[in-house]
Structure 1
Amino acid sequence: MINRRQFAIGAASLGLGTALASRFALAKPSQPSTGVAFDMPEGACDCHVHIHGPRAAYPMYEKRSYTPEEATPSELEAMMKALGLGRVVIVTPSVYGANNASTMFGMMHFGPAARGVAVIDAETTQRELKEMAAMGIRGVRLNLSVGGVNDPDRAKRMIDTALEQISNLDWHLQLNTKPEMIEALHDFLGSLPKMIVFDHYGGAQPDGKSEPAGFGSMVDLVASGKAYAKISIKGGHRDDLSVFDPLADKLIAANSDRILWGSNWPHPNAKPPAGGTAMDLTPLFAVDDGRVINQLGVWAENPAMRQKILVDNPARLYGFA
């Protein structure tokens, strides 16, 4: 059975009404204000979102580096309906440590239309992993960036440990890292027995002038078929989304069968408020996800390409029927 570390949904549901009532007076995750400029294919999937469940039911990790506002499954559902999205992949954020209960809470809301990516640690048992697999978890995430892991040797040890834990499962390994780390780990990652998925353009932050250092290593792994890349933008509102155009073009040209799209809803701000601490509430970024997904129409002008990125590739990786 799933223990209290992984899934406290029974206890959570007992106080859900009160928790949700108080929640709506606080956080307000953004909703799209721009309509989608292309025909959304049936079964389109947002491959990178987070659920921040009611804090009374889903307490956050005591060693977290920031404290985001709440963001509920019903609010996510409203965003998805506004954009015409039919499927979703919920990723456990760093603020919960290795407790995936809030992610499971979100997945239960969407049923077969949802899959998940979990965070695990040394205390995660094989029984828990199998139970999570049965509920729709399809990968584990190592958040090297938020964890401040900049040593390639340390990263290798963490990756080896995670892969050993999931060796009996048909899961992938998702990495939140930086292009320089991907470059340092290129040969190692290319030799791994599991599929790799890179978050948020592999952490690349384009300046509109030159390609980020190390970006080519991720492109090479995508081209070889050893990795997927999420063309998902993080960091809040941007006046100019076109700075990502060269990166998206290069990744799609390298291997369009290994490209995923994600919104990063509810757009958490991973930095504590000015003068505050990690325990202080940090407002979510206000982002127009309609505008964000319309940029995909620039990166993938052909409907067949959008079908591949939004439907076919997620269905293959995450096992949607």
Structure 2
Amino acid sequence: MQFQKTPGWLDWYQGPSKPGFTLPAGAVDAHCHVFGPGEEFPYAPERKYTPCDASKHQLFALRDQLGFERNVIVQATCHGADNRALLDALRYSDGKARGVATVRRDISDEQLQAMHADGVRGVRFNFVKRLVDFTPKDELMEIAGRIARLGWHVVIYFEAVDLPELWDFFSGLPTTVVVDHMGRPDVSKPVDGPEFALFLKFMRDNPNVWSKVSCPERLSLSGPRALDGERAAYRDVVPFARRVVEEFPDRVLWGTDWPHPNLKDHMPDDGLLVDFIPHIAPTPALQQKLLVDNPLRLYWPEQVKD
């Protein structure tokens, strides 16, 4: 089956540079995707966009190029609740990848158990209106209750302006909750302003809430320019991500977001994204928590030593 990529959206970056920052041993890319290939794993009829193909082979080659040892692969909205591409990548990874799936209310307990055996450890609830149609909250809460019995968590994707209306629902989820990309703050506003302060309060008030400090390429207004010869792009996002890392060091994750769907301005060099990490986690201790200890605790708890 042939799929035509959404016009104007960029292909992922070919030939990423080697990062200057050396990742700690055991580092996990805790947010990435696989797309298709469409001829093997067709995109969902209800999708809001059609991406370029981005296979498991290409993802794991990037993992090795950047210096990561493991991946957490998140189901993308273009595949809907058809998790076959995700599950295929998990099985191929030989235990080096875990997954976050999208499921519907009608999924059976046997299907959930089979997904667990393949490496799924969470489900994603998407509240970004331009990407998905609304799913009733009672259905999502029912799903959350069922996956809690497996020890899974919920990943939530929303935009900062929508947090007030979603606060009570998020606070009532019976699992660990992981926020994608810090709730997409508006980085043109002050890091000490009321909008980002509300997100920090949300994390303080809910000790089960974690955050991914990822996707500066989506949030930045200054863009990928390196300053003074440094590989220090996306400078305007640094204060926001660093605030979250330093205040909640045991509840943060980081990922590339490869292959970066829906971008029109520029496609990031993933090596440059890795070099963003020491600016938001400036000490070896924070880097160890962000890249190794926290993702292992959430996705490979059986391998964590007491």
- Name the TM-score, length of structure 1 as normaliser: 0.80
Kept in 2, the 8 Å contact 1:183–1:215? The answer is no
1:58 shift after superposition:
0.5
The structure 2 residue matched to 1:69, chosen from 42, 48, 52, is 52
- Superposition deviation, residue 212 in structure 1: 7.0
Partner of residue 42, structure 1 = 25
2: CA distance, partners of 1:65 / 1:261:
26
Q: Shift of residue 291 of structure 1?
A: 0.9
Deviates more, 1:34-43 or 1:180-189: 180-189
Shift of 1:189: 2.5
Alignment counterpart, residue 70 of structure 2, candidates 87, 90, 111: 87
Distance 2:68 2:240 in 1: 24
1:208 to partner: Cα distance: 6.0
Number of the residue aligned with 2:82: 99
For 1:230, the aligned partner's letter is K
Counterpart of 1:116 in structure 2 is 99
- 1:319 is matched with 300
Q: Which residue of 1 aligns with 2:140?
A: 159
Report if aligned partners of 2:145, 2:174 keep a CA contact under 8 Å in 1.
Answer: no
Compared CA separation, residues 244 and 87, structure 1 to 2 (3 A): same
Pick aligned residue for 1:287 from 245, 248, 268: 268
Inter-partner Cα distance in structure 1 for 2:18 and 2:194: 35
Map of 1:147 onto structure 2: 132
Deviation at 1:28, TM superposition (A): 5.7
Give the unaligned 5+ runs of structure 2.
Answer: 3-9, 225-232
Where does residue 13 of structure 2 map in the other structure?
30
Q: Which residue identity is paired with 2:207? A: G
- Inter-partner Cα distance in structure 1 for 2:62 and 2:90: 15
Q: Secondary structure at the match of 1:292?
A: helix
- Does the 8 A contact of 2:21 with 2:274 survive in 1? no
- 8 Å CA contact 1:231–1:259 kept in 2: the answer is yes
User: Is 2:186 aligned against 1:205?
Assistant: yes
| Structure 1: 5+ residue stretches without partners | 1-14, 20-26, 272-283
- Counterpart CA distance in 2 for 1:288 and 1:72 is 18
CA 1:216–1:32: 2 relative to 1, 3 Å: farther
Give the whole-Å Cα distance in 2 for the aligned partners of 1:155 and 1:44.
Answer: 36
* 2:230 matched residue in structure 1: none
Q: In structure 2, do the counterparts of structure 1 residues 148 and 244 end up closer, same or farther at CA, with 3 Å as the change threshold? A: farther
TM-fit CA distance, 1:31: 4.3
2:113 to 130, 133, 151: 130
Kindly indicate whether the alpha-carbon contact (under 8 Å) linking 1:206 and 1:212 is maintained by their aligned counterparts in 2: no
For normalisation by structure 2, the TM-score amounts to 0.83
Corresponding residue to 1:226 among 208, 212, 220: 208
Aligned residues: 281
Structure 1 pair 294–260 and aligned structure 2 pair: CA distance change class (3 A): same
Cα contact 1:236–1:269 (8 A) shared by 2: no
Q: CA RMSD in A?
A: 2.6
Q: Cα deviation per residue 1:232-260 (whole Å; 9 max; x = unaligned)?
A: 11539932511111211221122110000
Structure 2: distance between partners of 1:167 and 1:101: 22
Give the aligned partner of residue 260 of structure 2. 267
DSSP 3-state at the match of 1:228: strand
CA distance in 2, matches of 1:306, 1:155: 38
